[in-house]
Amino acid sequence: MNHSNMNTEKKDLTVGYSFIVTLYWIGFAAIGAFASAFLLHAGLTNSEIGVVLAVGCILAAVLQPILSTIADRPDSPSIKTFLMILGGILAAVGIFILFSGRAAVATGGRAIRLLTAGFYAIAMMLLMLLQPFMNALSMESLNQGHKLNFGASKAVSSLGYASASYGLGYLITVIGHDVVPLCITIGYLLFLTALLFFPFKKTVREEHEVVKSSGGAAAFFRKYPRFAVLLLGCMCIYLGHTVVNSYILQIIEPIGGGSAEMGTSAAIAALSELPTLFFFSYLVKKVRCDVWLRMSGVFFTLKLLFSLLATSVMGYYFVQIFQMGGWALLTVSIVYYVNAKMDRADVVKGQGYASMSYTIGNILGSLLGGRLLDAAGVRTLLAVTTVISAVGAVIMIFSAEKTEKVAGQQ
């Protein structure tokens, strides 16, 4: 160990990492949750919005393995550098979205609408590309001997997401839709600043540490065949999750809501995640993580079902508490499950395939959501996605394997 690494050894990086991950999720609220609000204002249809979001996710799915391969090279920049590059580009793209969106509203021209859509797709792509590097930053920091409470940081980021969702919903009604791209740019400029002060040095791995995996996808899923089935269930769940997150405005408008109520509902959902994120390390010691994983599919489906049944804004607010047992439970239990069921050499790859299932579900949800909204309306969309989510929940219940130890403990 060299002297320069000793100066930053064993610091508690929880506060610094919490700032970084919170700013990321503030940007996620602007780009993801308010995509429909901004792009509808810019003149796009629901179907076109679905295509925009799907294209961004597809581009991310194509580029992610390439970036990961580059990042693993001994002579490549550090994870922190990758995050700063991607975050800097995203801050710039926010400015382009601002001015192209203004021009689209002012002129109504198809070409400028397509340009706005293109910039927004790039923003979605960069958002998805950032996420695995965010997780890698925390894991590498822990591996280097620093202290970092990942669950606490995730909980703080949920607070940030909730605040941003509520604030943006209100500000749109007061200032206008320009606040969405402004939040993207300002948020990621602050993200860059937080990264700049985050103490991190690239870990140089020995050759025997790099070549350890079980091989390609075919070899991996031959080794873990039930995990492939589990991921199919996750894809169905994520599809429904994408619909209720990307099309909140369209869901809440028929029952009397608008942009402000949309922001409030997203904030309630994010706040509902906090107990699960804070206490999951305790819960998983009491009940096996495969049980929590199965339960998450049920809660996802219940959220969709009660979204379909909601007849008032207050009723829809109540539905958001299912987030506690849905997204919040899945996002932590899947990590613990992979750690428990896979060999150490396969854990990173397993987490990668879990993330890929989310991306695919996002793509399908974006495309199906926009098409169904325009063709049949929001009630049909929610009914169809509730059925798909229920199928996914059943698949997860029967494909998840019993874990024999507390996941995450070695």
Q: Which of 18, 29, 8 is nearest to 246 (CA)?
A: 29
The whole-number pLDDT of residue 303 equals 93
CA dihedral 230, 236, 240, 245 (to 10 degrees): 60
Report how far Cα 291 is from the mean position of its chain's Cα atoms.
23
For the entire predicted model, the pTM comes to: 0.75
CATH classification of 216-403 is 1.20.1250.20, yes or no? yes
Per-domain residue ranges for the chain? 10-211, 216-403
The whole-number pLDDT of residue 78 equals 79
Q: Do domains 10-211 and 216-403 have the same CATH topology?
A: yes
Q: Which of 270, 258, 43, 42 is nearest to 169 (CA)?
A: 258
β-partners of residue 12 are 147
CATH number (3.40.50.2300, 3.30.2270.10, 1.20.1250.20, 3.40.640.10) of 10-211 reads 1.20.1250.20
Q: Identify the burial level of 53 via C-beta atoms within 10 angstroms of its C-beta, where 0-12 means exposed, 13-18 middle and 19 or more buried.
A: buried
The whole-number pLDDT of residue 46 equals 81
Per-residue pLDDT of the chain (410 residues; tens, 9 = 90+): 444 444 445 778 888 888 999 999 999 889 988 888 899 888 888 888 888 988 998 888 788 767 766 766 666 777 888 899 999 999 999 999 999 888 888 887 788 889 999 999 999 999 988 877 777 777 677 767 778 777 778 788 888 888 888 888 889 888 889 999 999 999 999 999 999 988 877 665 544 444 454 556 777 788 888 999 999 999 999 999 888 887 888 888 899 888 888 888 888 888 888 888 878 777 878 888 889 999 999 999 999 999 999 999 999 999 999 988 888 888 878 877 887 777 766 766 777 778 778 888 888 888 888 888 888 888 999 999 999 999 999 999 999 888 865 544 43
